């Protein structure tokens, strides 16, 4: 009798693990400052914000990362705060850069971004209660608060959810990451975290890591734009802690690549902040963008 009960337990456990491994994955992603360089917080420099938006530039290896998730079977939804009347910008960007799209939602006229995003994402989650949900946003405007509201919603407690936030700006009171929210700085550390979460294969994650590692070390004069945007405000000590954390638990061969990316970021940001203390250099070097 004991042996039979033990066998039944093992079979149920194996069945449960098999189900978890085969659980469908649904990605719900923001666009601006999440996968596309947008400078959503202008910090008093409206001209730079406009120029950044017009460039329509994806962050390095983000298209490849989303294609990899799609290739693994993930369903790709985008929920953007962009108004419906001008969402052709988002559609054009996604198509131009080959982002896989299973659904795209934009903000209706007269609806606040926070209210709209909470309601729309909640509905998508409720429509897919058996999926593993991956939420992707940034700490520029409302995403952190939106994700906190969803995490506290009793109707969604039974849905497995992981949240990743692109940390570009100095956190404000309403944009400090909440419990369970994980930061990312590049597509490389995000890919490693998605690998750890079991939604991205080792081969595909390593492909993204290698691409970012090559870019950060070979395109010296251009690296600040698609990979290290000139509006990145992350604290240097916080960045070091973050990359160390990502490297922990990653395959041994990945750790040196992750720390190599970190060291490049540290060097670029340290140099930028030094130059910003010199008025003439702050203006002239930022204009030409060659001092990285």
Distance of CA 33 to the CA centre of its chain: 9
pLDDT bracket for residue 53 (50, 70, 90)? low
Mean pLDDT on 163-191: 91
| Residue 153 or residue 175, greater confidence | 153
What is the per-residue pLDDT for 123? 98
Asked if pLDDT for residue 76 goes beyond 90, the answer is yes
pLDDT tens-digit map of 92-113? 999 999 999 999 999 999 999 9
- The CATH code of the domain that includes 146 is 3.40.50.1000
Mean pLDDT on 151-177: 92
What is the per-residue pLDDT for 70? 98
pLDDT bracket for residue 21 (50, 70, 90)? low
Tell me the pLDDT of the chain averaged across its residues.
84
Does residue 10 sit within a domain?
A: no
DSSP string computed for the chain: -HHHHHHHHHHHHHHHHHHHHT--EEEEE--BTTTB---SS-TT-HHHHHHHHHHTPBPTTHHHHHHHHHHTT-EEEEEEEEEGGGTHHHHHHHHHTT---SEEEEEPTT--HHHHHHHHHHHHHHH-TTSEEEEEEESSSSHHHHHHHHHT-GGGTTS-EEEEEE--S---TTSS--TTEEEESSHHHHHHHHHHTTSS-HHHHHHHHHHHHHHHHH-TTTTTTTTS-TT----HHHHHHHHHHHHTTS-HHHHHHHHHHHHHHHHHHHHHHHHHTSHHHHHHHHHHT---
What is the per-residue pLDDT for 38? 83
pLDDT tens-digit map of 202-220? 999 999 999 999 988 875 5
Asked if pLDDT for residue 250 goes beyond 90, the answer is yes
Which of 185, 173, 152, 192 has the alpha carbon at shortest distance from 269?
Answer: 185
Its pTM stands at: 0.84
Domain that holds residue 279: 23-288
pLDDT tens-digit map of 257-266? 999 999 999 8
Does residue 2 sit within a domain?
A: no
What is the per-residue pLDDT for 288? 40
Does residue 3 sit within a domain?
A: no
In the chain, how many domains are there?
A: 1
Which of 69, 67, 190, 54 has the alpha carbon at shortest distance from 131?
Answer: 69
């Amino acid at each position: 009798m004991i042996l039979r009960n033990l066998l039944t337990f093992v079979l149920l456990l194996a069945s449960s693990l098999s189900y978890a491994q085969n659980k469908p994955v649904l990605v719900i992603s923001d666009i601006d400052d999440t996968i596309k360089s947008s400078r959503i917080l202008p910090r008093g420099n409206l001209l730079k914000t406009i120029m950044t938006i017009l460039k329509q530039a994806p962050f390095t290896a983000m298209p490849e990362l989303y294609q990899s998730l799609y290739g693994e079977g993930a369903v790709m939804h985008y929920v953007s705060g962009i108004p419906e009347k001008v969402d052709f910008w988002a559609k054009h960007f996604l198509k131009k850069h080959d982002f896989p799209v299973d659904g795209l939602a934009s903000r209706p006229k007269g609806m606040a971004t926070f209210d709209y995003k909470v309601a729309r994402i909640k509905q998508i989650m409720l429509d897919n209660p058996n999926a593993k949900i991956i939420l992707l946003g940034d700490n520029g405007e409302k995403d952190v608060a939106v994700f906190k509201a969803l995490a506290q919603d009793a109707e969604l407690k039974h849905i497995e959810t992981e949240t990743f936030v692109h940390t570009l700006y100095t956190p404000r009171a309403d944009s400090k990451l909440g419990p369970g929210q994980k930061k990312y700085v590049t597509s490389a550390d995000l890919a490693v975290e998605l690998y750890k979460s079991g939604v991205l294969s080792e081969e595909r994650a390593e492909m993204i890591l290698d691409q970012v590692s090559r870019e950060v070390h070979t395109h010296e004069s251009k690296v600040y734009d698609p990979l290290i945007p000139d509006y990145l405000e992350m604290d240097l000590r916080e960045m070091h802690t973050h990359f160390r954390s990502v490297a922990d638990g990653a395959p041994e061969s990945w750790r040196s690549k992750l720390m190599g990316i970190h060291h490049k970021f540290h060097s670029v940001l340290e140099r930028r902040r030094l130059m910003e203390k010199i008025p003439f250099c702050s203006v002239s070097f930022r204009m030409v963008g060659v001092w990285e």
